[in-house]
Amino acid sequence: MNKNWAVFSTVAAVVVAFIAGAVIFKDRSKQEVTQALQASSGALVRAHSPVYGNPAAKVTIVEFFDPACETCRAFYPIVKGLVNASVGEVRLVIRYAPLHTGSDMLVKILEAARLQGKYWEALEKVMTPQPRRAAHVNPQMEPIWGLIADIGLDVAKAKSEANSPAIEQLLSQDLADMKALKVRRTPGFFVNGKPLLDFGEAQLKSLVDQELKKLKAP
């Protein structure tokens, strides 16, 4: 019995060490995000970014977004719902974090669509076939153009504009800001400059509610 006890207590010790290590690391990375935010708060919102909802809204959700990320896709209706339900009090600012292979190409297509005023239509179309590309290996770009053709886009024009230096610059600025703010996973949310430290739908909603309540307080 003595020796079995040694085995079980060793397992317990390793499990405790693991959990303690995880807690310490999480705490440290939270501090890192907060510090990065203090150092470069200007990196959060840029004038070039697409905005959903009332541009003058008092509550701003900044989302570091990857058009090829499944979780971003799952969160899209949730975030959209938050903006719509607020009736002009919440806006969404899209920043790009193209972490998947080929995501940068998707971003360029979206930005080209934005130049023709078809951004949100294109975004929803681009996210639809995601499961088929779930492996993220060598995503095919040509079918994407075909997919968004029926939103009334001048595809030839968009194709030439997708590789413009302006879009290239927007993308590299977003990438630089993503690194400065230590966003390593998508979607990365900030509400009125506060990072969503514990990821989740309920946590995001409560962070937005918190900011909305501050507005209503006298």
Partner 1 sequence: MSAEACELAGPRGRSFWVPLFGAWLIALVATAGAVFLGEVLGMTPCVLCWYQRIAMFPLAVLLGVGLLDADGRSIRYALPLAWAGWCIAAYHCLIFWGVLSEGLIPCGKGSSCAEADLQVAGFVPIPLLSLIAFTGILALLWVANKRVKT
Please report, as ranges, the residues that interact with partner 1 according to CB under 8 A: 2-4, 6-7, 10-11, 14-15, 17-18, 21-22, 25-26, 137, 184-185
Work out how close the CB of 27 gets to partner 1 at its nearest, in angstroms, rounded to a whole number: 12
Rounded to the nearest whole angstrom, what is the least distance from the CB of residue 13 to partner 1 in the complex? Answer: 10
Instruction: Provide, rounded to whole angstroms, the least separation between the CB of residue 57 and partner 1.
Output: 33
Paired sense of beta strands 59-65 and 90-96, if any: parallel
Length of the chain in terms of residues written: 218
Cα separation, 215 vs 119, whole angstroms: 30
For partner 1, the closer of residues 184 and 214 by Cβ is 184
Rounded CA separation 177/188 (Å): 12
Question: Minimum Å distance from CB 212 to partner 1?
Answer: 32
CB-nearer residue toward partner 1: 14 or 141: 14
Whether 193 and 43 have beta carbons less than 8 Å apart is answered as no
Give the separation between CA 10 and CA 30, rounded to whole angstroms. Answer: 30
Q: Which C-beta is closer to partner 1: that of 59 or that of 178?
A: 178
d(Cα 4, Cα 8) in Å, to the nearest integer?
6
DSSP alpha helices (H): ranges in 47-154?
Answer: 70-85, 103-115, 119-127, 142-148
Nearer to partner 1, 18 or 214 (CB): 18
**Least separation, in Å, of the C-beta of 11 and partner 1?**
7
Do 138 and 102 form a contact (C-beta atoms < 8 A)?
yes
Nearer to partner 1, 135 or 156 (CB): 135
CB of 193 to partner 1, least distance (A): 24
- Specify the residue, 136 or 205, whose C-beta has the smaller distance to partner 1: 136
Q: How far apart are CA 151 and CA 144, in angstroms?
A: 12
DSSP lists the bridge partners of residue 60 as: 91
